[in-house]
Structure 1
Amino acid sequence: MNNIFQLVYQQSIEQPFKAAIIYEEQHITYHELIDKVLILSAYFKSKGLTAGQRIALFAPNGPEYAIVLLSAAKLGLAVVPLPITLKGHALENAMKSIPVAATVAWSSVSQQLLGTGLAQPENLITLNRCVSKETLWGDVFESGLKDDDKTVDTTELPFILTMTSGSTGTPKPIILTQECKIKRAFDATINYYDLTQDEVVLVSTPLYHSLAQRGLLMPLMLGATSVILPKFNVAKWFNVIEKYRVSFLFAVSSQLDMLVDNIELAKDMSSLNCIVSSSAVLALDTKEKLVKQFDCQLHECYGASEVGVVTDFCLNSHSDKQGSVGKALPFVKLKIINEQHQLVGAGEVGQIMCQSKTEFAGYLKMPEKTKLAYDEQGYFATGDLGYLDEDGFLYYVGRNNDVISSGGINVYPQDIESTIKMHPDVADCVAFAYPDKQFGEVIKVVYTTQSDSLDVNELKKLCLHELTDYQQPRYFERVDSLAKSSLGKILRQSVKSLFGGKG
């Protein structure tokens, strides 16, 4: 199997002057991209970096991401992508949990790393402006010294190390090999959605997330074009699609919520063939608006960092299954088990377990945790709850540790949240367990609104009409905002901690 560098290098031979990357009016051809990759590879070699070593990458969205990833793929290095907003103890924990041989960083991060001794100038490249005596990104390419185009088999070596626990708690890095990333690009994306070299793929989520990395690397391996947005912006999203005739993209649910609410900004969307939503379940009203407003294939997928995409649901089909996240991909096996690890029947909620050819290579230096992540049959425990219907469609209910046990009855937050979001004035909400002497746990809901006029009694009446007795929230609290990740996904644990949640 060719590695990722070899796949992209082949495109530079076959179509050297085709645009590989478009970023802020800048068009980088395949020939120009590979030239920069070979220069950076030569620089890494001059610093003594060899296969198996690791590079920390703190970079905003831009072509630099592709150049670093492809250089690492060529040399067999592993990249640890991290947000440039990381600071303090979170930054220290991330750097100490995965020792690296070199770092490529934005100046704000470089300053912190040098100031705390977490990086040395000789092993640091700063992207935008020099902080001390480290190397500046632009100076690397002044030499023009290029590595040769030869490469060893690096497909089974660690390529991406992704943190699964975010910036809090003990980091649990998952290992993704090049082989894994190639399979996710081809089997779970290119082949599944019938993509071709004519695609123009938009990347609008932060590149330190695996979803955006696939949006960047997949078209380059295919020989298509990747368009990178510096940051998500509704108006710019619509403009870029029209300007560059974008045909395919991944989006997160929070982005799609904003897009359907600002559809008047859209002009010519006729180039779009397929939109794939990921990261969180779409609200039913958002799904309905998407189907109505976009004349293209619309998909929602469910997955996990460790195993990649597990299921896919086409919103344009199966109108009777709109609450589902779809069926297992052709190379995925699914099962639902209860707390005794026994299979449950159709319609019964349990933990989602899966087998996939796109699974990770384990948690870094955590063999016991890796082993415990699987059952005896080799199924990965996702930690998510859901159920399968009689037709094999999966329905996601929530995280295992989000379940509310009220009076001994399990209540699933998503059931509460989807009901409350039915109110047109509710912007977002989180339902969680709140301590109670009589029942152990009761339900509390914190919510944000579109205006200040919403009477909480309207929400109580809505819940009484739509939910059973044990699902009724005891407490409601309107808040100005809910903590969210850079992908717009609500940080449930932060919300629960801030507003008195249990567990």
Structure 2
Amino acid sequence: MVVMLTGLLAGGAGGPALRDSAGELDWSALDARVNRWVRLLRAEGLQVGDTMAVVCGNRRETFEVLLAALHTGVTVVPVNWHLTAPEITYLLSDSASRLVITEPRYAAVVAEAAHSCPAPVRAMVTGEREHAGCTAVEPLLAGLPAAEPAGQVCGSILLYTSGTTGTPKGVRNGLFRVGAPFARVDRLLAYAGRVLGVPARGAVLLVGPWYHSAQVFFALLPLLRGSRLVMHDCFDPESFLAAVAEHRITACHLVPTQFVRLLRLPAAVRAAADVGSLRMVWHGGGPCPVEVKRQMIEWWGPVVVEYYAATEAGVVTLMDADSWLRHPGSVGRAVPPNEIIIVDDDGNPVPAGQAGRVFVHRVGQTFEYHNAPQKTRDAHLRAGVFTYGETGYLDSDGYLYLTGRTGDVVISGGVNIYPAEVQTVLLSHPAVRDAAVTGEPDDEYGERVVAIVEVDSARLAPERGGEVLAAFCRRSLAGFKVPRRWRFVPELPRDGTGKLRQEVLRGLLGTGISGGRS
């Protein structure tokens, strides 16, 4: 058996380990499958330190491959399955992947991407049959022994940022390290249980794309602690509630847009939902409107836990529901031994209550951008102290409040305006479902503030939206911060991780229903 499953199987782990839309796999069968995958990766010529990519949905084979790589000394690159062939080619080439695993529905795009790489990349597809020139995996696995493979070596995961504002960056964050002792993984799992509330022998529901850092770690870590992993290919609010009830789900990871969709369900549906099994609902992936968070806590109780993290180095702060109710809008306090440091543009610490650049000191934890040493240096204030690119402030109790991203500023008439501040106010309006704030050129002021808003049309007609929301903003914001132009759209363009797709957002500035100017 593979090392990371040894304790679970010896401890009598039984029942299903993985469940997807096609069926389920128990713990013994999972171990046998992973053993075969380890042998297959080696047979394909992968050695310790090599890299491979996976372009699959939320399915059992995805986690089989991931577990196998983590026992073969191989680095896995999770790939967004929505990408085009040229985008996948970039990731395969940048990561120097030698092998890519996909599933039939993505085989044609992946084959094209692999063939376009300057260095050879072998393409394989799950299932019994070849697709688009990709070699079928199952006949190869069937011919390999299921016995424990010798010489297991810890592998790693190379995550690429979502690239909503530019070319994706590969991040080596050190949570799993090639060649590290497996005892280090045991310590990581113990920490995840003790500090993050990752359940042992529970049931976890994955409804976000596994290729995102939060989704893969909040699925993989519970699995390695003996929790059953139930996977949906995408998020549907009613299907989500049904799965929680059917499988007695104890933990899941959600993003604020999924909270909003759940709250849009009819009151009768929400009242009838059985969510009593939930013990931990982690959420991140963007700012959560205060009223949305409040309603989720009222519905689900104190199980809703917020965190501040990034692909670069994992979770930095935690915020339980009771603390959030006392400090609404905060993303929590630093998890020991982490430290939050707020500095000005010259790198000098600023006092509580003053906004600046948010830096993180993580003891024994660092990261680097793959093939980008200058970006790595730019992200570090000094050794072990780095930034995720956010701005914010600490209150007198040490709670962190985020105000935006470094460089995310509109300069209008020489005055700095931070879009995140305006967005926070807009999201507090009861008729606003989602909002984005940005800047656009202005002949007189250089730039002006623009708001792109999704509203509940039953509560606010888009035709009057600009007038109403501008007046609402003026109650909380200085006049120069109030958006000068408004666009109302049916839905804001967010990717599967909840992040705004900036290139689509820019296109919306010339479309949609105009609500006029303020």
> TM-score, normalised on structure 2?
0.88
Gaps of 5+ in 2: 178-183, 512-518
Question: 2:461: which partner in 1?
Answer: 453
Quote the offset at 1:234 in angstroms. 0.7
Measure the CA separation in 1 of the matches of 2:480 and 2:86. Answer: 41
| Matching residue of 2:123 | 124
Q: 1:453 to 1:232 in 2, by over 3 A?
A: same
Distance 1:257 1:283 in 2: 9
Q: CA shift at 1:165, angstroms?
A: 4.9
Task: Report the equivalent of 2:204.
Answer: 201
SS at match of 1:445: strand
- C-alpha separation between the residues in 1 aligned to 2:416 and 2:341? 20
Q: Is the aligned partner of 1:235 residue 2:238? A: yes
Per-residue displacement from partner, 1:140-176 (whole Å, max 9, x unpaired)?
332242363433443xx5x111112527743321114
Q: Deviations over 1:373-413 (max 9, x none)?
A: 21125310221010001110000111112222223332221
Corresponding residue to 1:354 among 360, 380, 383: 360
In the alignment, is the contact (CA less than 8 A) between 2:165 and 2:503 conserved in 1?
no
Q: Which amino acid aligns with 1:471?
A: K
Report the Cα offset of residue 73 of structure 1: 0.8
1:163 aligns to 2:160 (yes or no): yes
Contact 2:165 2:501 (C-alpha < 8 Å) held by counterparts: no
User: Residue 514 of structure 2 corresponds to which residue in structure 1?
Assistant: none
Is 1:477 the counterpart of 2:487? The answer is yes
Residues 52 and 97 of structure 2 are in contact (CA less than 8 Å); yes or no, is this contact kept in structure 1?
Answer: yes
Consecutive unaligned residues of structure 1, counting only runs of 5 or more, are: none
2:312 matched to 1:312?
no
Is 1:385 aligned with 2:417? no
Q: Does 1:398 align with 2:395?
A: no
User: Which segments of structure 1 move beyond 6 Å, counting only runs of 4 or more?
Assistant: 119-122
The Cα of 1:178 is off from its aligned counterpart by 5.1
After superposition, the C-alpha distances for 1:70-117 in whole angstroms (9 at most, x for unaligned) are: 110111001111022211432222222122111101234332343461
The 8 Å contact of residues 193 and 200 in structure 2, kept in 1 or not, is answered as no
Q: For residue 137 of structure 1, what is the amino acid of its counterpart?
A: V
**Conserved 8 A contact 1:260-1:293:** no
Q: Distance in 2 between matches of 1:183 and 1:384?
A: 31
Residue 20 of structure 1: which of 7, 17, 29 is its match?
17
Provide the residue aligned with 1:70 in structure 2: 67
Contact 1:84 1:109 in 2 (8 A): yes
The Cα of 1:422 is off from its aligned counterpart by 3.0
Report 1:273-284 matches (<5 A).
273-284=279-290
CA contact (8 A) 1:313 1:326 kept: yes
Quick check: 1:467 aligned with 2:477? Answer: yes
Asked if structure 2 preserves the Cα contact closer than 8 Å seen for 1:90 and 1:167, the reply is no
8 Å contact 2:313–2:367 — kept in the other structure? no
Structure 1 counterpart of 2:91: 94
- Between 364-373 and 382-391, the greater mean CA deviation after superposition: 364-373
CA distance in 1, matches of 2:503, 2:339: 30
Q: Deviations over 1:233-256 (max 9, x none)?
A: 111110111111111111111111
Report how far residue 420 of structure 1 moved. Answer: 2.0
- Alignment pair present for 1:289 and 2:295: yes
Q: 1:272 to 1:16 in 2, by over 3 A?
A: closer
1:139 aligns with 2:139: yes
State the Cα deviation string for residues 199-244 of structure 1 (Å, max 9, x = none): 2111111011111211221122212222212211111110111111
Change (3 A) 1:6 1:176: farther
Q: Distance in 1 between matches of 2:351 and 2:80?
A: 42
1:160/1:5 CA distance change after superposition, 3 Å:
farther
| Amino acid of the structure 2 residue aligned with 1:410 | N
In structure 2, relative to structure 1, the CA distance for the partners of 1:202 and 1:191 (3 Å cut) is same
Q: Distance between the aligned counterparts of 1:175 and 1:322, measured in 2?
A: 33
Asked if the contact 2:13–2:226 (Cα under 8 Å) also holds between the matched residues in 1, the reply is: no
Are 1:248 and 1:273, in contact at CA under 8 Å, matched by a contact in 2?
yes
The farther-off stretch of 365-374 and 50-59 is: 365-374
**How many Å separate the matches in 1 of 2:344 and 2:190?**
30
3-state SS of 1:299 partner: strand
Alignment of 1:18-57 (within 5 A): 18-24=15-21, 26-57=23-54
| Residue 463 to residue 286, structure 1, CA distance change in 2 (3 Å) | same
Contact between 2:206 and 2:230, CA under 8 Å: does it hold in 1?
yes
Q: Give the distance between the partners of 2:8 and 2:149, measured in 1 at CA.
A: 13
1:300 match: 306
Query: Conserved in 2, the CA contact under 8 Å of 1:387 and 1:395?
Result: yes
CA gap of 1:137–1:296, structure 2 versus 1, over 3 A, is: farther
After superposition, the Cα gap between the structure-2 partners of 1:333 and 1:500, relative to the gap in structure 1 and judged at 3 Å, is: farther
**Deviation of the 1:470 alpha carbon:** 2.4
- Secondary structure (helix, strand or coil) at the match of 1:39 reads helix
Letter of the 2:461 partner, please give it: S
1:441 & 1:320 partners in 2: Cα distance? 37
Partner residue of 1:488 out of 476, 495, 498: 498
Alpha-carbon distance change, 58 to 264 in structure 1, aligned in 2, over 3 angstroms: farther
Q: Which moved more, 1:208-217 or 1:70-79?
A: 208-217
Contact 2:260–2:433, Cα closer than 8 Å, also in 1: no
Equivalent AA in structure 2 for residue 118 of structure 1: S
Judged with a 3 Å threshold, the aligned counterparts in structure 2 of structure 1 residues 427 and 318 are, in CA distance, closer, same or farther, namely closer
Question: Would the alpha carbon gap of residues 255 and 367 (structure 1) be closer, same or farther in structure 2, given more than 3 Å must change?
Answer: same
Q: Higher mean Cα deviation, 45-54 or 137-146? A: 137-146
Separation in 1, partners of 2:454, 2:38: 49
- Kindly state the Cα deviation for residue 309 of structure 1 after the two structures are TM-superposed: 1.0
Structure 2 residue identity aligned to 1:143 = G
